Amino acid sequence: MDHQIFADTPGLNQALFQVTHGLYILTSVVGEKINGQCLDSLMQVTNMPPRIAIGVGKRSLTHEMIVESGIFAANAIDRECIACYDMVKHFGFQSGRKVDKFANIAYVKGELGAPILPDSKAFFECRIVRELTLDLGTHSLFVAQVERAGTQAQGEPLTYNEYRRVMKRGMKEGG
Protein backbone atom coordinates (compact mmCIF):
# COMPACT_ATOMS: atom_id res chain seq x y z
CA MET A 1 0.00 0.00 0.00
CA ASP A 2 1.41 3.36 -1.07
CA HIS A 3 -1.04 5.68 0.70
CA GLN A 4 -0.02 8.52 2.96
CA ILE A 5 -1.93 8.00 6.23
CA PHE A 6 -3.43 10.88 8.23
CA ALA A 7 -4.92 11.09 11.71
CA ASP A 8 -4.60 14.85 12.32
CA THR A 9 -7.24 17.37 11.22
CA PRO A 10 -5.16 19.13 8.52
CA GLY A 11 -4.20 15.77 7.00
CA LEU A 12 -7.77 14.50 7.14
CA ASN A 13 -8.95 17.70 5.44
CA GLN A 14 -6.34 17.18 2.71
CA ALA A 15 -7.67 13.67 2.17
CA LEU A 16 -11.24 14.99 2.07
CA PHE A 17 -10.27 17.19 -0.89
CA GLN A 18 -10.33 13.92 -2.86
CA VAL A 19 -14.10 13.67 -2.39
CA THR A 20 -15.65 14.77 -5.66
CA HIS A 21 -18.59 17.13 -5.52
CA GLY A 22 -20.05 20.11 -7.32
CA LEU A 23 -19.61 23.78 -6.62
CA TYR A 24 -22.66 25.97 -6.10
CA ILE A 25 -23.67 29.49 -5.22
CA LEU A 26 -26.23 29.13 -2.44
CA THR A 27 -28.65 32.06 -2.15
CA SER A 28 -31.41 32.98 0.26
CA VAL A 29 -33.72 35.86 1.07
CA VAL A 30 -35.40 37.38 4.12
CA GLY A 31 -37.76 40.22 3.25
CA GLU A 32 -35.82 42.45 0.84
CA LYS A 33 -32.38 41.27 2.04
CA ILE A 34 -30.60 38.74 -0.19
CA ASN A 35 -27.28 37.00 0.27
CA GLY A 36 -25.26 34.18 -1.18
CA GLN A 37 -22.23 32.05 -0.51
CA CYS A 38 -20.25 29.25 -2.08
CA LEU A 39 -21.32 25.73 -1.27
CA ASP A 40 -19.66 22.43 -2.06
CA SER A 41 -21.80 20.12 0.05
CA LEU A 42 -25.02 19.30 -1.80
CA MET A 43 -26.47 15.94 -2.68
CA GLN A 44 -29.73 14.50 -3.88
CA VAL A 45 -31.21 12.38 -1.10
CA THR A 46 -34.57 11.29 -2.58
CA ASN A 47 -36.29 11.44 -5.95
CA MET A 48 -39.88 10.89 -4.77
CA PRO A 49 -40.35 13.51 -3.48
CA PRO A 50 -37.35 15.31 -5.00
CA ARG A 51 -35.15 16.37 -2.08
CA ILE A 52 -31.59 17.53 -1.63
CA ALA A 53 -29.43 17.98 1.46
CA ILE A 54 -26.93 20.77 2.02
CA GLY A 55 -24.41 21.39 4.79
CA VAL A 56 -24.06 25.06 5.75
CA GLY A 57 -21.79 26.66 8.35
CA LYS A 58 -23.77 28.19 11.21
CA ARG A 59 -21.69 31.37 11.36
CA SER A 60 -22.70 32.46 7.86
CA LEU A 61 -25.37 35.05 7.11
CA THR A 62 -26.84 32.71 4.49
CA HIS A 63 -27.35 30.07 7.21
CA GLU A 64 -29.24 32.57 9.35
CA MET A 65 -31.40 33.56 6.40
CA ILE A 66 -32.23 29.95 5.52
CA VAL A 67 -33.21 29.24 9.13
CA GLU A 68 -35.45 32.33 9.19
CA SER A 69 -37.06 32.06 5.74
CA GLY A 70 -36.92 28.31 5.19
CA ILE A 71 -35.94 28.80 1.53
CA PHE A 72 -32.86 28.82 -0.66
CA ALA A 73 -31.71 28.41 -4.23
CA ALA A 74 -28.65 26.39 -5.17
CA ASN A 75 -27.04 27.53 -8.43
CA ALA A 76 -24.72 24.96 -10.05
CA ILE A 77 -21.67 26.72 -11.47
CA ASP A 78 -20.97 26.22 -15.17
CA ARG A 79 -17.35 25.20 -15.76
CA GLU A 80 -17.44 26.75 -19.25
CA CYS A 81 -18.40 30.19 -17.90
CA ILE A 82 -15.10 32.01 -17.37
CA ALA A 83 -16.77 34.72 -15.25
CA CYS A 84 -18.06 32.01 -12.91
CA TYR A 85 -14.57 31.42 -11.51
CA ASP A 86 -14.58 35.01 -10.27
CA MET A 87 -18.09 34.44 -8.88
CA VAL A 88 -16.66 31.74 -6.62
CA LYS A 89 -14.18 34.27 -5.21
CA HIS A 90 -16.87 36.94 -4.95
CA PHE A 91 -19.33 34.77 -3.04
CA GLY A 92 -16.78 32.68 -1.18
CA PHE A 93 -14.14 35.04 0.14
CA GLN A 94 -16.13 37.88 1.70
CA SER A 95 -18.91 38.18 4.23
CA GLY A 96 -22.43 39.28 3.38
CA ARG A 97 -22.43 41.02 6.76
CA LYS A 98 -19.84 43.49 5.41
CA VAL A 99 -20.57 43.57 1.66
CA ASP A 100 -23.70 43.53 -0.48
CA LYS A 101 -22.69 40.56 -2.61
CA PHE A 102 -25.45 41.25 -5.14
CA ALA A 103 -24.65 44.98 -5.66
CA ASN A 104 -23.26 44.40 -9.18
CA ILE A 105 -24.42 40.84 -9.85
CA ALA A 106 -27.14 39.99 -12.37
CA TYR A 107 -29.82 37.69 -10.98
CA VAL A 108 -33.46 36.78 -11.40
CA LYS A 109 -35.74 36.55 -8.40
CA GLY A 110 -36.97 32.96 -8.20
CA GLU A 111 -40.57 32.02 -7.46
CA LEU A 112 -39.65 31.45 -3.80
CA GLY A 113 -37.75 34.76 -3.71
CA ALA A 114 -34.14 33.57 -3.61
CA PRO A 115 -31.80 34.84 -6.36
CA ILE A 116 -31.14 32.66 -9.39
CA LEU A 117 -27.95 33.35 -11.34
CA PRO A 118 -28.53 33.45 -15.12
CA ASP A 119 -25.08 31.97 -15.91
CA SER A 120 -25.61 28.89 -13.73
CA LYS A 121 -25.69 25.46 -15.39
CA ALA A 122 -28.69 24.56 -13.26
CA PHE A 123 -30.62 25.91 -10.30
CA PHE A 124 -32.76 24.34 -7.60
CA GLU A 125 -35.34 26.38 -5.67
CA CYS A 126 -35.92 24.70 -2.35
CA ARG A 127 -37.93 24.83 0.85
CA ILE A 128 -36.34 23.20 3.89
CA VAL A 129 -38.09 20.37 5.71
CA ARG A 130 -37.58 21.75 9.24
CA GLU A 131 -38.15 18.46 11.05
CA LEU A 132 -35.31 16.90 9.03
CA THR A 133 -32.75 19.64 9.81
CA LEU A 134 -29.80 18.27 11.79
CA ASP A 135 -27.51 20.23 14.08
CA LEU A 136 -23.97 19.08 13.30
CA GLY A 137 -22.17 21.40 15.73
CA THR A 138 -20.45 23.93 13.45
CA HIS A 139 -22.87 23.28 10.58
CA SER A 140 -26.52 22.47 9.94
CA LEU A 141 -27.63 19.80 7.55
CA PHE A 142 -30.73 21.04 5.77
CA VAL A 143 -32.92 18.58 3.91
CA ALA A 144 -35.07 20.46 1.43
CA GLN A 145 -37.88 19.83 -0.99
CA VAL A 146 -36.97 20.90 -4.54
CA GLU A 147 -39.96 23.04 -5.55
CA ARG A 148 -38.65 24.22 -8.92
CA ALA A 149 -35.49 23.66 -10.97
CA GLY A 150 -34.00 24.68 -14.29
CA THR A 151 -31.09 23.67 -16.50
CA GLN A 152 -29.29 25.11 -19.50
CA ALA A 153 -28.62 22.90 -22.52
CA GLN A 154 -25.01 24.04 -22.88
CA GLY A 155 -22.27 23.83 -20.31
CA GLU A 156 -21.04 21.38 -17.71
CA PRO A 157 -21.18 21.59 -13.92
CA LEU A 158 -17.95 22.68 -12.24
CA THR A 159 -16.58 20.41 -9.52
CA TYR A 160 -14.82 21.76 -6.47
CA ASN A 161 -11.75 19.65 -7.29
CA GLU A 162 -11.56 21.12 -10.80
CA TYR A 163 -11.92 24.66 -9.43
CA ARG A 164 -9.03 24.06 -7.02
CA ARG A 165 -6.85 22.68 -9.84
CA VAL A 166 -7.57 25.65 -12.12
CA MET A 167 -6.91 28.17 -9.34
CA LYS A 168 -3.69 26.43 -8.28
CA ARG A 169 -2.48 26.37 -11.89
CA GLY A 170 -3.38 30.06 -12.27
CA MET A 171 -1.42 30.96 -9.13
CA LYS A 172 1.66 29.09 -10.43
CA GLU A 173 1.40 30.94 -13.74
CA GLY A 174 1.17 34.26 -11.91
CA GLY A 175 -2.48 34.86 -12.80
Note the maximum CA span of the chain: 56
Q: Is residue 1 part of a domain?
A: no
pLDDT tens for 145-173 read 999 999 988 888 888 888 888 878 775 55
Q: Is residue 62 part of a domain?
A: yes
Q: Is residue 140 part of a domain?
A: yes
pTM for this predicted structure: 0.88
Rounded-to-integer distance, Cα 77 and Cα 156, Å = 8
Q: Is residue 61 part of a domain?
A: yes
- The CATH number of the domain holding residue 163 is 2.30.110.10
pLDDT tens for 48-85 read 999 999 999 999 999 999 999 999 999 999 988 878 78
Determine the pLDDT at residue 6. 83
User: How many structural domains comprise the chain?
Assistant: 1
Determine the pLDDT at residue 172. 57
Structural domain of 121: 21-172
Q: Is residue 158 part of a domain?
A: yes
Q: Is residue 144 part of a domain?
A: yes
Q: Is residue 15 part of a domain?
A: no
Rounded-to-integer distance, Cα 67 and Cα 71, Å = 8
Q: Is residue 122 part of a domain?
A: yes
Determine the pLDDT at residue 175. 47
